[in-house]
Amino acid sequence: MRILFMFIALAALLWAGAASNDGLSDVVTWDPYSLTVNGSRVFVFSGEFHYQRMPVPEMWLDIFQKFRANGFNAISVYFFWSYHSPAKGVYDFETSGKNIQRLLDYAKEAGLWVIARAGPYCNAETNGGGLALWGSDGSLGSLRTSDETYHQAWLPWIANIGGILAKNEITKCGPIILNQVENELQETTHTAKNTLVLYMEQLEAAFRAAGITVPFTHNEKGERSMSWSTDYQDVGGAVNVYGLDSYPGGLSCTNPNTGFTVVRNYFQWFSNYSYTQPSFFPEFEGGYFTPWGGSFYDDCSAEHDPAFADVYYKNNIGQRATMQSLYMAWGGTNWGHSAAPVVYSSYDYSAPLRETRQIQDKLYQTKLIGLFTRVSTDLMKTYMVGNGTGYATSTAAWTWEIRNPDTNAGFYVVQQATTSSRASVTFSANLNTSQGLITVPNINLNGRQSKILVTDYVLGGHTLLYSSADILIYGTFDVDVLVLYLKEGQAGQFALKTASASTHTVYGTTEATVSSSSNITTVVYTQGAGKTILKFDGLLIYLLDQPSAWNFWAPPTTTNPNVKPNEQTFILGPYLVRSASISHGVVHISGDNNNSTTIEVYTGESEIQTIDWNGIRLDAVKTPYGSVTAQIPGSEDRAIFLPSLTNWRSADSLPEKLFSYDDSKWTVCNKSTPSSPVAPLTKPVLFSSDYDYYVGTKVYRGYFDGTAFTSVNLTCSGGLAFGWSAWLNGVLVGGHVGTASLPTTNAVLSLPLSSLQATNNLLTVVVDYHGHDETSTAKGVENPRGILGASLIPPTNSSSTSFKLWKIQGNAGGSANIDPVRGPMNEGGLYGERVGWHLPSFTPDSTFDHSSPLTGLNSPGIRFYVTTFHLNFDSDLDVPLGIELSAPAGTVARVMIWVNGYQYGKFVPHIGPQTRFPVPPGVINNRGLNTVALSLWAMNEGGAKLDSVKLISYGAYQTDFQFNGDWSYLQPGWDESRLDYT
């Protein structure tokens, strides 16, 4: 096997004679080992981020700073056509959460490169997969093909978004280093005239015409096909840097013992299909989504396990990956109607950074790997030496050996042969070093643990001959500083290429045995709790247990994503460190902290007298090994007052069920032929998109004459877990309460004779909406929503539905996007939404009573509830907030939540799973007045009510980040123009 690997390595060396570029610029180049940016090899450690899922631009910077602090040097970003184009020919790239330039400026400010992914199709569990929803009427043509109708539809999008991206490329001092073309488009036929090949060529030409000069990438949809690589059957449409998406976890929210089986053929896959390019994972599992009716993210313990990062991400490194983007790094919220039907309001994704913007242990463990890749320059050029169980004295241990051909530095990724095992395995490993083969004993792997052992690893002016402890990071200061970590109780051993250890000193509880022989100093130790420091001449070594390592930070002193070992400050202790700088004997540190703790700072500068933590000046206490310490505050003693949500005002939000309601301004459904590729079941066409109502609930009013009808046959579609209800002359006649597995439902509803009248019978149908489909479902975004067919039984004749008129009402203004700040997917067609009861500054009038959602409805219907509350958090606190709802067992209802005009949650108690809904600063005012509105749709005869509606806090952190700004620009209020949409 090793002979084969050596052959592959030799082939890679031959291919790597010179770096490749796209012929337009040499700022970003590549070879079989890595990407090179501005002349330096880089390990791209990226995280997926979707700005659409956070409508507050200021919070983008908060998230980006957390990414950077936790070892990421790049973000991967989808740009959703649907979010920026509410109507054909209309684009918004500037308003609030759609300000792309601000997004890219924040990324650059935070020190992150950007991998741009502008589609036009994105998938991403977002509404319609990111395709323009105005095309949901079928006008987009044949999706994701070279069809000219589709070509002309997406071309202006690429021209517009591409122009902005081109101005922000790294070639123009911007952050964008790569541009992805389309998304997981499988090349099923390798012929030059295939429609997919032509489609990719159309897209690439359009991006280049827009000014894009950075290399193109694409993401293979798992190991399902071989697509768009110049190294495999390139008949056209290939990109510069091939990528492979992988979601190998196989985890279960109900059985934590499943999954954790790594994929071990990545190296071979890349060797077969992209051997002239670096191994790149454009999407690697950072978590996974859960569907309607499934488990909520908080219940998926396996997905939150820090061992996931430890095992899977190190496994990628062992197979020579030098480009990796975690999907998702932060998931966010499917606020409004931005979700595809496969997901609910939360898009937490069990990502390393929670929906609430909170760091979990999984992110801390990810950080350890990211910081290691930051400084391990020899890792960026390696070949595969071998792999298997033959490196260790136990066949329960599996090893990947990769090696730098220039320096001979070696990296041994050790993992259990059965990576899902929870057993503890101890073994010796045979490591090839410049001093020959060395057997290192007492290497321990706990269940679901992995380590990266190194040989001939250069750190500043020193070299590790080998180490069986993981390297977290190293830095070059006045001395070299190395940071190693193990789990408490595990044995570690490392050797330095240095002549003498006679001057070493130990500070801490870990006992270490140091010996020297033949210009090699060997250290053997068992990791104790907390930190221990070994001080040698010119070298300082931190030995950290895992929890201490998680609270270790290395803020760069540069905004360049490519951070050098001498461009860092080392800090130990806080929950988060955002940045650090030094001036006039003061080290200024910006960060967040929940519990008061000791902060330790190593700068390499002896004159440090003061630590400035978030503007608080603290006397620095010097340690004997050159760092300084101080006590920093947390938030544990702060008073966080959350008011009860009371003083509700309430009004009926379904006046449309009554004949007396005036629908003269409504849209008449008068089309006989749809643009949709899906045929209507009856005519006229009742598809909502045919009448420019794309998102949210739709309300229909159908008129007919006569008392001879016994029932009505209705088929409605709104996406998975949607529901609908129908009223005859104000009386509920039924509907479908919804199920997590059906996007379309049918019912034949009996019409009570007592409710029929001779003329002008009114059938009011309310159809819920959970998004348009991604292309993985039949016709994708072009699958119609609303009523697909409606006919009375018995029919008056075989060609008639017996309805004489249908009208439809949807979100206020339809495609006009009358609220550009919140954007085109925030609202639906409920009466209370259309007239703006959910907006700040709306004042309930005398038609509103004082009932509460805890009282609810005692009969079927839809009701709106509105209240206000004040918050007054200290200005130096970040308090992630949410709203929690509960309902009595058996409740069949649909609830939407608005906070200051933003629809921030859908609660469907009979389907689930979500009951807690995070709301970020900027949507909610941490200091000031807030408006909350609820819609309660009772679907059964008994009505519905809630048990509780309350504010919740997920935590509190002392910080200097500005979470308490003036958010008024994000919260436009009510005005009388809303009354035009009754």
pLDDT of 15 reads 56
- The whole-number average pLDDT for the span 530-536 is 97
SS3 content of the chain, % helix, strand, coil (to 5): 20, 35, 50
Distance CA 550, CA 545 (A): 9
Q: What is the pLDDT of residues 5-43, one digit of tens each?
A: 555 555 555 555 579 999 999 999 999 999 999 999 999
**Token code pair at residue 153:** 């539809």
pLDDT at 793 over 80: yes
Check residue 797 and give its pLDDT: 85
Identify the pLDDT of residue 505. 95
Q: Which of these, 738, 745, 655, 749, lies nearest to 939 by C-alpha position?
A: 738
Per-residue pLDDT at 518: 85
pLDDT computed for residue 1 by the predictor: 46
User: pLDDT digit string (tens) for 367-387?
Assistant: 999 999 999 999 999 999 999
SS3 letters across 225-282:
CCCCECCCCCCCCCECEEEECECCCCCCCCCCCCCCCCCCCHHHHHHHHCCCCCEEEE
Cα–Cα dist 719/158, whole Å: 28
Which residues 6+ apart lie within 8 Å of 385 measured at CB? 2, 5, 6, 9, 401, 402, 403, 410
Rg (CA), the chain: 30
> In the predicted model, is pLDDT for residue 902 greater than 80?
yes
Q: Is the pLDDT higher at 159 or at 800?
A: 159
Q: Which one-letter DSSP state was computed for residue 318?
A: H
Read off the pLDDT of residues 34-79 as tens digits, 9 standing for 90 and up.
Answer: 999 999 999 999 999 999 999 999 999 999 999 999 999 999 999 9
pLDDT one-digit tens code per residue, 741-760: 999 999 999 999 999 999 99
| Residue 863 pLDDT > 80 | yes
Q: Is 182 left (phi over 0), alpha (psi -120 to 50) or beta?
A: left
Burial label, 295 (beta-carbon count in 10 A; 0-12, 13-18, 19+): middle
pLDDT value of residue 146? 98
User: Known catalytic residues?
Assistant: 184, 283
**Residue 181 pLDDT more than 50?**
yes
DSSP H helical ranges for 697-816 = none
- The pLDDT score that the predictor gives to residue 18 is 75
| CA pair distance 82, 77, nearest whole angstrom | 15
**Which range is least confidently modeled, 396-400, 674-678, 873-877?**
674-678
Cis peptide bond upstream of 794, omega within 30: yes
DSSP 470-508: EEEEEEESSSEEEEEEE-TT-EEEEEES-S--TT-EEEE
The three-class DSSP label of residue 643 is coil
pLDDT value at residue 16: 54
pLDDT of residue 778: 86
pLDDT tens readout for residues 76-125: 999 999 999 999 999 999 999 999 999 999 999 999 999 999 999 999 99
pLDDT band with cut points at 50, 70 and 90 for residue 498: confident
**With 80 as the cut, is the pLDDT of residue 501 above it?**
no
pLDDT of residue 796: 85
Distance CA 418, CA 654 (A): 58
Across all residues in the chain, what is the average pLDDT? 96
Give the pLDDT of residue 490: 98
Of 855, 938, 896, 909, give the one whose Cα is nearest residue 654. Answer: 938
pLDDT tens digit sequence for 193-218: 999 999 999 999 999 999 999 999 99
**Averaged pLDDT for residues 262-275:** 98
Coil, helix or strand at residue 695: coil
Question: In the prediction, which pLDDT does 10 show?
Answer: 53
Give Cβ neighbours of residue 268 (< 8 Å, ≥ 6 apart).
none
